[in-house]
Chain A
Amino acid sequence: GAGVSQSPSNKVTEKGKDVELRCDPISGHTALYWYRQRLGQGLEFLIYFQGNSAPDKSGLPSDRFSAERTGESVSTLTIQRTQQEDSAVYLCASSPSPETQYFGPGTRLLVL
Chain B
Amino acid sequence: GQQLNQSPQSMFIQEGEDVSMNCTSSSIFNTWLWYKQDPGEGPVLLIALYKAGELTSNGRLTAQFGITRKDSFLNISASIPSDVGIYFCAGRSSGTYKYIFGTGTRLKVLA
Question: Which A residues contact B (CB, under 8 angstroms)?
Answer: 4, 31, 33, 35, 41-45, 48, 50, 56, 58-59, 91, 93, 95, 98-106
**Cβ-defined contact, A43 with B43, below 8 A:** yes
Across the interface, which residues of A come within 8 angstroms of B103, CB to CB? 41-42
In the assembled complex, 14 residue pairs joining A and B whose CB atoms fall closer than 8 Å, in A order, are A33-B97, A41-B104, A42-B101, A42-B104, A44-B101, A45-B2, A45-B101, A48-B97, A93-B42, A98-B96, A101-B45, A103-B42, A103-B43, A105-B42
* Inter-subunit contact B44/A100 (CB<8 Å): no
Q: How far is the CA of A35 from the CA of B6 in the complex (A)?
A: 18
- How many chain B residues touch A (CB < 8 A): the figure is 26
- Any A CB within 8 A of the CB of B76: no
How far is A33 from B88 in the complex, measured between Cα atoms in Å? 16
Binding site for A on B (CB under 8 A): 1-3, 6, 31, 33, 35, 41-45, 48, 50, 88, 90, 92, 96-104
C-alpha gap A43/B92 in the complex (Å): 14
What is the bound-complex CA distance between A44 and B43, given in angstroms?
A: 13
On whether the beta carbons of B42 and A31 are closer than 8 Å, the reply is no
CA A42 – CA B43 in complex, angstroms?
11
A45 adjacent to B33 (CB under 8 Å)? no
Contact indicator B97/A42 (Cβ below 8 Å): no
Kindly identify which residue among B88, B96, B98 contacts A43, using a CB–CB cutoff of 8 Å: B88
- Check A105 against B101 for contact (C-beta < 8 Å): no
Cα A50 to Cα B3 with chains together (Å): 22
Contact B102 A42 (CB under 8 A): yes
